[in-house]
Structure 1
Amino acid sequence: MNKKMFNKEIKQMGAFQFSVPSGHMNFQLGHLNIIIVTDGIGYYDKNCFAPGIARGEVNQLLDDHYIESEYFELAHNILVIQTGDRTVLVDAGNGDGSEKSVGRLPENLLHAGISLQSVTDIVLTHAHPDHINGLINKENTLVFPHADVHLSKTEYNFWMSATPDFSKSKNTIESCLFVQQQAKDCFTILGNQLKLFNEAEPLFDFLTPVLAPGHTPGHCMFAVSANDEMFIHMADIVHDEIILFSNPHWGTIFDIDFELAATTRKDILDQFARSRQRVFSYHLPWPGFGYVQKVDSTYKWVQERYLTPQFRKSI
């Protein structure tokens, strides 16, 4: 979230409330109450993106978009779905052991009126640290004590393997092994609260996984649907709205299978551009909703300004 936004007052905008100081926004999707909660802004070194591409070419692209910082500022948008007696989070953020600019999910959930004890389910898109470390606090106890945590079997088996294949990543083996150890420690502490799902089967009547491998082997998007309304949570298909939209094949060092991730990214962006599908992203600018547009041989992120059809009709 842009830091200046925290200083704005709560505003009522037609059919939905945009509550910036408390780090959340909510709206209705059919019978579902959807809340977007920020875990904060993460600062990522530019060299994490487009590994192997001449820095001059990368810097020229960034200059063309007036980006001069040494870091990318990436949002961490957490999707919350409420229906009946269920409160479902998609991903859990960075946790309290992270840099001060992230790890804000628990306090922002409270601002949104959601206690940590009331969360019934947490669905993980994949097992990277900025998605799972928020499950466990510094004392190695559960942040969400009553929540079942859902993870794809493919993802679990990869990170728990004695010999995971990191040879197709452009990250260092040391970094990959460190991430693996964090995942294994987290899974161990979760114990029986960790529930594994088959990517081909719906989790609930409103949430369906869509396997999109490459970033990690079990990386999943999720279709969120209610009645005749639907959007796709595209997880970490893209991390920024410039580098990876302009050049999907440039990728990141975080991709476990770099070439497969690039292929998946290109295919998904092309699919979204053709279908004009409404999508939600974990890392794109707050609040993460928008559309993918095809521009010649590249793509463009079109951020959604208003979140609800009801609001569009009211202006």
Structure 2
Amino acid sequence: MPSTSPIPYTSAVHWPVGRQIFTSVSDGYYQTDLTVFPSFDHSEAGGLQRAAYRTTEPRISHNMYVVRGPDHAPVLIDAGMGDGWGSTMGHLPWALSSIGVGAEEVGTVLLTHLHLDHCAGLIDRDGAARFPNAEVVVHAAEVDYWLDGAAEVPSDDDPPWAPAVTRRGAAAALAPYRNRLRTFDHEQDIAPGITAVPLTGHTPGHSGYRVGAGVDAILVVGDIVHVPAVQGPRPDASVVFDVDPDAAVHARRRLFAAADRAGFRIAGAHTEFPGVTLVRRVGEGYRLVPDLWVGALGT
């Protein structure tokens, strides 16, 4: 394990879920501004950020999750941004080593979708599999949508989430795993104690993974939310990364309502680290309450 961390904050937090241990690990963060909301009023977004004691230039957490238990090898949920995307991201390999999980020990990588900040970390700088013994699992619609047209040539001006960049990067990330790639197209058990839950909208096959059952469950929700202080109270605020903004808003509303009603926790790729959150209805919107604060407050 490295003697010093490249990440200026805690890199892992653990929760027991039944017989399993659910761990949040940080891949880092990325800095953006309110143009992340292409059609939502920026003055209102800025006001919501300030009301939550956040700056008007959101710093977006980038969380991955590890599930360990007696019935399976370590399961990684999303693989991070990988190399070459700046110094604030791509820290997953260090975070995994900090909890004693070697890349060769990972038995399954569950992908919420194929945007590059979730799949590019499947490979190293040389394009080789970073997780040499892992099966990769993703919704079939993701493979169909992003790998169709992977030869499309990106422009030098394209951002990392542009379709051409995503298609080329996703094809490269999955290439070493094509003989151990498993897809699904409906809610189903995917590993012991883990269920795949389609949450389509952000991308055509965007999915979550439910760990455990009942009120003790944690549902990893991928990119349901990017800026919690804005999209909690205003679930209708779509982001520039949404492939289908209307469907993404619908999925977010439906998920928030279910989490508030049933009391289960969600864990987002971009909820503020360490990312495990309860959802509470407030007026016409919601408040995302970090799970670690709940016990301390006695609520």
Which category of TM-score, normalised to the shorter sequence, fits these structures?
Answer: 0.7 to 0.9
Residue equivalent to 1:77:
63
> Given the alignment of the two structures, is residue 91 of structure 1 paired with residue 82 of structure 2, yes or no?
no
Output the CA distance in 2 between the equivalents of 1:201 and 1:188.
25
Distance 1:211 1:126 in 2: 10
- Matched with 1:279 is 266
Asked whether the equivalents of residues 223 and 231 of structure 1 are also in contact (C-alpha less than 8 Å), the reply is yes
CA displacement 1:269-315 (0-9 Å, x = unmatched): 122122222222221112111211111111111111269x8x999xx
Q: Which moved more, 1:204-213 or 1:23-32?
A: 23-32
User: C-alpha deviations, 1:138-187, integer Å up to 9, x for none?
Assistant: 11111111111111111111112249xxxxxxx99992222122112222
Using a 3 Å threshold, how does the CA distance of structure 1 residues 91 and 174 change in structure 2: closer, same or farther?
Answer: closer
Q: 1:39 aligns with which of 27, 38, 41?
A: 27
Is the alpha carbon distance of 1:65 and 1:200 closer, same or farther for their aligned partners in structure 2, counting shifts above 3 Å? closer
User: 1:244 corresponds to which letter in structure 2?
Assistant: Q
CA separation in 2, counterparts of 1:63 and 1:192? Answer: 48
Counterpart CA distance in 1 for 2:122 and 2:194 is 20
More displaced 10-residue stretch of structure 1: 234-243 or 187-196:
187-196
- Cα distance between partner residues in 2 of 1:236 and 1:228: 22
Amino acid at match of 1:40: G
Given the alignment, which residue of 43, 46, 58 partners 1:56? Answer: 43
How far apart are residue 77 of structure 1 and its match? 1.6
State how many pairs are aligned: 285
**How much does 1:137 deviate?**
1.3
Give 1:1-315 correspondences, 5 Å limit: 6=8, 20=10, 23-49=11-37, 51-69=38-56, 71-84=57-70, 85-162=72-149, 175-225=162-212, 229-305=216-292
1:194/1:66 Cα in 2 relative to 1: closer, same or farther (>3 Å)?
Answer: same
The TM-score normalised by the length of structure 1 is 0.82
CA distance in 2, matches of 1:174, 1:130: 9
Shift in Å at residue 52 of structure 1? 2.0
Structure 1 stretch 247-256 or stretch 71-80: which is displaced more?
Answer: 71-80
Stretches of structure 2 that go unaligned for 5 or more consecutive residues are 151-157
Give the C-alpha shift of residue 36 in structure 1.
Answer: 1.7
CA RMSD of the aligned region, Å?
2.7
1:255 CA displacement:
0.5
Q: Distance in 2 between matches of 1:226 and 1:298?
A: 26
Cα 1:199–1:48 change in 2 (3 A) is same
Q: Is the 8 A contact 1:236 1:281 kept in 2?
A: yes
> SS at the partner of 1:238?
coil
Tell me if structure 2 keeps the 8 A contact 1:236–1:282: yes
CA offsets, 1:187-210, max 9 Å, x none? 223221222223332111311111
Partners of 2:180 and 2:94 lie apart in 1 by 23
**2:19 aligned partner, one-letter code:** H
Q: Could you tell me which amino acid in structure 2 is paired with residue 45 of structure 1?
A: D
TM-score, normalised by the number of residues in structure 2: 0.87
Corresponding letter in the other structure for 1:277: F
* Structure 1, unpaired ranges of 5+: 8-19, 164-170
Say whether the 8 Å CA contact 1:97–1:137 is kept in structure 2: no
Residues 27 and 264 (structure 1), Cα distance of their counterparts in 2 relative to 1, 3 Å cut: closer
- C-alpha contact (below 8 Å) 1:32/1:226 kept by paired residues: no
**Structure 1 residue 242, shift from structure 2 partner:** 1.2
